[in-house]
Chains A and B, each alone.
Chain A
């Protein structure tokens, strides 16, 4: 158990819908990262937050957004969902941006 929690574990929804994925980092970690794992793209970095502020963006679609709250938990919002958004979404956290990242168990999203 890495200490990073993600909810829900599974999510099934329809095209065009909007979902919110939640992540709670390890105690004391200020950095939160979101990654997407899909069969065709592999593991890709989406976005990084540090102590409530966005630090970096990777291959994140405009339909996707995220935020980190004062209690340091983070949410990833996916809207206007398409079939191709079906993937496993991981959250990772680290104490500071240059420290080892520890991953949560992921949220498996299926868009029908």
Chain B
């Protein structure tokens, strides 16, 4: 079945530590890939996206993500986490090539940052 999987429901990291949030997808074709962040009580903000080209993409707030076709993964990373990064992170895919333009979301990973 087609799906977007974020295996970690909740991650806790210390401020200044590195971060990696996992995302795997299961679709027949390579989808277009996104990471969004949702702060408490806020909407979804786009962090970065991958459509094609360089498999390492840079986003806002110091985040980056790497697309690995062989692993069907698009993991989000940040070398040094700040307290303000505490939020919920959603991986999403779009299958524009199939004519479906909506986003399919993973279940999200909640990030807690401890001092």
Contacts and interface: CB of A to CB of B under 8 A. Distances in A.
Contacts of A2: 43, 45
B103 A101 contact: yes
Most buried by B among A42, A56, A101: A101
Q: Is the interface of A mostly helix, strand, loop or mixed?
A: strand
A43 interface: yes
Contact of B101 (A48, A102, A106): A48
B36 A103 contact: yes
Nearest to A57: B102
- Nearest first, the 3 A-B pairs at minimum CB distance are A45-B102, A43-B105, A97-B101
10 contacts: A33-B102, A42-B107, A43-B90, A56-B101, A92-B44, A94-B101, A98-B96, A100-B34, A100-B46, A100-B49
